Amino acid sequence: MLAVIFPGQGSQAVGMGAALATKFPAARAVLAEVDEALSQNLSGLMRDGPTEELNLTSNAQPALMAASLAAFRVLQSEAGLDLARGVRVVAGHSLGEYSALAAAGSLSIRDAARLLRIRGDAMQRAVPVGAGAMAALLGLDREVAEEIAREAATGGEVCDVANDNGPGQVVVSGHKAAVERAVVIAQGRGARRAIMLSVSAPFHCGLMAPAAETMREALGGTILHAPAVPVVANVKAAPISDPDAIRAALVQQVTATVRWRESVVAMAALGIDRFVEVGAGKVLTGLVKRIATGSSAAAFGQPSDLDALRTVLEAGAHV
């Protein structure tokens, strides 16, 4: 069986989606739809940069969704991708969950773009610049990272596990001083590396509560449909299809841990042995290969990837 997965923030790069848009009308149509929804030439920023502007959270989040959906539509039009044939679930890392929902028809592309602009703005506003931080703790599992985060969160400060990305790859997030303490503690607990990350805000921690409330309001006024196939939600590491459950998960996701490792394990337990990452970069492809070692994973973001992906999709169609 096949799962289609969608990347999150950090995978963005100037030029993403440009080659697909040049060659395929289906990709151009998605980018035009996002530009119109946001009243912004986001596709031009994606194509030409500058990098600093693309990396702004309010731009990066809808841009990554646009690149993912452009690639997804090309797989549908050029490679015969059909969610009803052989695709068991979809999933996305953090903002990639919005891409997954749009691909599965739960959200319109316009609403996904609008919500991600609101989400990016709200996450950036939630914490004053410089007050928060994130750090990667490499070589430690989630349970140890949670102990470290609790120990680091002194004096009422926040330090939470933000991402459980894969074996030995956990990210903590919160007040800058607390995260810096977590780095020191992790170094004494046998971490292979513990490094501060260059991020604009402390995502997926309790400090994002104001952003979660903003998203609760925004999602409350948005129509969601049952997806064509279940989406494996970050906060549950399990497939969901009910629109109310999806809405609640998207609100919770703003402050909760991205349980990507557990999500991949859950997908493998459903019998999924092929993963296709759609959009910018190959970050999730690498993580999947480390987590579900008996599965295959491939990425699609360039026209040159198309022939290989046709083979993967044809295999999935006969499951």
SS3 49: coil
Q: Which of 26, 21, 19, 60 is nearest to 42 (CA)?
A: 60
Q: Which of 241, 264, 274 is nearest to 3 (CA)?
A: 274
Q: How far apart are CA 15 and CA 227, in angstroms?
A: 30
The torsion angles phi and psi of 163, rounded to 5 degrees, stand at: -140, 130
Q: How far apart are CA 253 and CA 61, in angstroms?
A: 14
Q: How far apart are CA 246 and CA 234, in angstroms?
A: 11
Range 38-73 burial, b when 16+ CB lie within 10 A, else e = beeebbebbbeeeeeebbebbbbbbbbbbbbbbbbb
**296 catalytic, yes or no?**
no
Task: Give 9-48 as a 3 state SS string.
Answer: CCCCCCCCCHHHHHHCHHHHHHHHHHHHHHCCCHHHHHHH
Q: Which of 316, 307, 272 is nearest to 81 (CA)?
A: 316
Number of alpha carbons in the 13 Å side-chain half-sphere of residue 146: 6
Q: Which of 257, 245, 229 is nearest to 100 (CA)?
A: 229
For the chain, the distance separating the N- and C-terminal CA atoms, rounded to the nearest angstrom, is: 6
**99 catalytic, yes or no?**
no
Question: Of the listed 11, 94, 173, 263, which one is catalytic?
Answer: 94
- Residues marked active site are found at 94, 204
